Amino acid sequence: MISLPLAPKILKEDKNKAVFQIEALYPGFGVTIANALRRVLLSSLPGCAVTEVKIKGVSHEFSTIDGVLEDVIIIIQNLKGLRFKIFEGESQTASLKVKGEKTVCGSDFKLPTQVKLANPSQHICTLTSSKADIEIDIVIERGMGYEPKDIRKKKKSDIGTMALDAIFTPIKSVSFEIENMRVGDRTNFDRVNLSIETDGTLTPEEAFLDACHILVDHFSLFLNALAPAKEEEKSKIEELDLSGRVADALSKGGIKTISGLSRKTEKALRELEGMGDA
């Protein structure tokens, strides 16, 4: 039987960086587990990004603005570097209006209460004269991974609004090292050091746990789908003390047994037609 590893521990921890160590992994399991975690961390954690920008007096990204040191294309790159966290809704807007000689940063944006900026010192642009001014409106959206602006261009936007390539992932980097260690008489067990750096919208520990939950949810689905059902799970949902509306909604959703019901998440159940807030 394959032995289980020791519980993970945190070797080093900074504000947005941490190194997690997993010891006593069965030979070969180090790369299996570390690579799975790395792929999930980089591709599957939700985050927020600036997806659209509108700058007063600017019609395209290759423009320049009088009294502003940076070209518009540089300003857009700086806006992409803003890292937000949305507490409510899938999309929010923010704006800034600055006049006079000044260095403009992320902290100059007026944000709704449902949004938090993780890096307020992020440089946006530099106004070089007392008469210079700039007005910027941005759209912040939730998402996962990377979404090119070509997809976003299909959506209807106001004139002068520029769609941006969106990097939603809250993970800046993930790397791992694997080395041999002794367990009993064997010296070929694996030790993994997994390094995670986030953008500040969540901690490395939260990111690590989220990635673990995603993997566990997938494997649990496989187990529940293929494992023999217990007698009570084979029972029809009609045997449960459910209201007629709920029973009808489950039936229309193709859920006939207690086993089928147990495999559905709360979110999936709420999305069934006729379920509502039941």
Q: Are residues 208 and 186 in the same domain?
A: yes
Q: Is residue 277 part of a domain?
A: no
Q: Are residues 134 and 77 in the same domain?
A: yes
Share of the chain above pLDDT 90, in %: 72
Question: In CATH, what number is assigned to the domain containing residue 127?
Answer: 2.170.120.12
Q: Is residue 276 part of a domain?
A: no
Q: Is residue 264 part of a domain?
A: yes
Task: Please give the tally of structural domains in the chain.
Answer: 3
Q: Is the pLDDT of residue 154 over 90?
A: no
Q: Is residue 81 part of a domain?
A: yes
- Output the pLDDT for position 271: 74
Each residue of 181-214: pLDDT tens digit? Answer: 999 999 999 999 999 999 999 999 999 999 999 9
Expressed as residue numbers, the domain containing 68 is: 47-167
Q: Are residues 117 and 213 in the same domain?
A: no
∠ CA(185), CA(189), CA(193), 5° rounding?
A: 140
Each residue of 65-95: pLDDT tens digit? Answer: 999 999 999 999 999 999 999 999 999 999 9
Q: Is residue 275 part of a domain?
A: no
Q: Is the pLDDT of residue 278 over 70?
A: no
